[in-house]
Amino acid sequence: MNQQALDAIEQILNYKFSNRKLLSQAFYHSSSVEDRAMSNERLEFLGDAVLGAVICQRLFEKFPQYLEGDLTKIKSSLVSRRICAKVIKKLGLQEYLKVGKGMNGSMALSGSLAAGLFEALVAAIYIDGGFEAAKKFILDGFEPMISQADAAQAHGNYKSLLQQYAQQQFNITPTYSVLDEKGPDHNKCFEVEAVMADRHFPSAWGNNKKEAEQKAARIALIELGVLPKSPDE
C-alpha cells in the first residue's frame, strides 16, 4: 500500500502508527496475497478478542445496575459483524481494502470483509499503541450505539428502543398499524407492522397487540441495522 493511502487512512483513524507495516497488513484480505500469513486474518483473530474486552468493560461501567444476563444481551447486539461493518462503512475505509480478482464489487466488501477489516484495525492499533489506543478507536465508533443499548434493549423493550433510535436519527416517532386479526374475541391474534414516515417494515404476529407491536419493533430494528439477526433467522 502506498504512502499516500496510508496517510489518508491514518487521518481517518485519527491515529498515527509507529509501525506502518501493521496498518498496511490490516487492509490485505487473504484473497489478495499468496501467503495467508501475510493477510489480515491473524490480526482479525486478535482484534475480535480486544473488541470484546473493550465493549465488556464499557458496558460494565455504564450499566452498574445490570446483571450478567442483561449485559450479555447488550454485548451480543453490539459485538456483531454487522455492527463492525457498519462502523467501517461510516468511516469510508472499505475502499482501501485489498481483495483478490473477482471480489471487487462483491457484497461481502460491505459485510463480512468490512467487519474483518475493523477487527484487524483494532488489533493493529492495539499492537502498535496499546490497549488504551485500541479502546479509543473502538469507542469512537461504538459509543453512539452503546448509548442506545439501554434497559429497553436489555429487557427486550424493542418499542422503546425503536422510538429512541427514530427520534435521535430521524426526529420522528414510529407508529404501529394492525393489518389483520384472527381467532375468537377471547383469544385473538394480531398482525402488526411498524411504520416510520413512509417506510413500512415487515409485519409480525402476536397473541395480543402489545406482543405483536414488540415483535414488529424488533423486526424494524433489525432492518435498520440496529440489532443483529439471531442465528436461526
Outline where DSSP puts E strands in the chain.
Answer: 175-182, 189-196, 199-200, 204-206
Q: What percentage of the chain carries pLDDT values higher than 70?
A: 91
| Fold (topology level) of 156-223 | Double Stranded RNA Binding Domain (3.30.160)
Better pLDDT: 155 or 163: 163
The per-residue pLDDT for 103 is 65
What DSSP string describes 24-71?
A: HHHTB-GGG-SSGGGSSHHHHHHHHHHHHHHHHHHHHHH-TT--HHHH
**Confidence grade of residue 10 (pLDDT, cut at 50, 70, 90):** very high
Domain residue spans in the chain? 3-149, 156-223
Grid cell locating 195: 411504520
Lowest mean pLDDT among 17-31, 60-74, 104-118: 104-118
Amino acid at 160: S
The per-residue pLDDT for 229 is 72
Mean pLDDT computed over 89-97: 91
Residues tagged active-site: 48, 119
Q: pLDDT tens for residues 173-188?
A: 999 999 999 988 888 8
Count the neighbouring beta carbons within 10 Å of the beta carbon of residue 14. Answer: 9
The answer, yes or no, to whether residue 53 has pLDDT greater than 90, is yes
Give yes or no on whether 3-149 and 156-223 have one common fold: no
The answer, yes or no, to whether residue 132 has pLDDT greater than 70, is yes
The per-residue pLDDT for 109 is 59
The per-residue pLDDT for 82 is 84
Q: Are 61 and 148 in contact (CB under 8 A)?
A: no
Q: Which CATH architecture does the domain made up of 3-149 adopt? A: Orthogonal Bundle (1.10)
